[in-house]
Amino acid sequence: MCVIIDTSVVGLLFLNPKDRMEAATKFLDYINKRKVELVVGGKLTFELCKGSNKFELWLSEAIRNGKVKNFKINGLQRRKSFEA
């Protein structure tokens, strides 16, 4: 499964549960129950956090709890250099 969270929709993930789309609820449940792994990193992470304070709070906690992996840009660049 691959999910791309765009800055234009990130706020929809954190609406009140009764107002949230079913897909958003399922996505959060999958992450919270560790059925899938979310990987974030780079400029998009900054943009998503800038666009939604609730996402930033959720992401910080999810990273601390091991539900989300955060790749720093330098690590990704280093990895790319090994593949070249």
In a domain? residue 66:
yes
Q: Which string of b and e fits 65-80 if b means at least 16 CB within 10 Å?
A: eebbeeeeeeeeeeee
Give 27-68 pLDDT, tens digit per residue. 888 888 877 777 887 788 888 888 788 888 988 888 888 888
Whole domain around residue 28: which residue ranges?
Answer: 10-83
Which amino acid, one-letter code, is at 25? T
In a domain? residue 20:
yes
In a domain? residue 1:
no
* pTM value > 0.75: no
In a domain? residue 70:
yes
In a domain? residue 5:
no
In a domain? residue 2:
no
In a domain? residue 37:
yes
Split into its structural domains, the chain has a count of 1
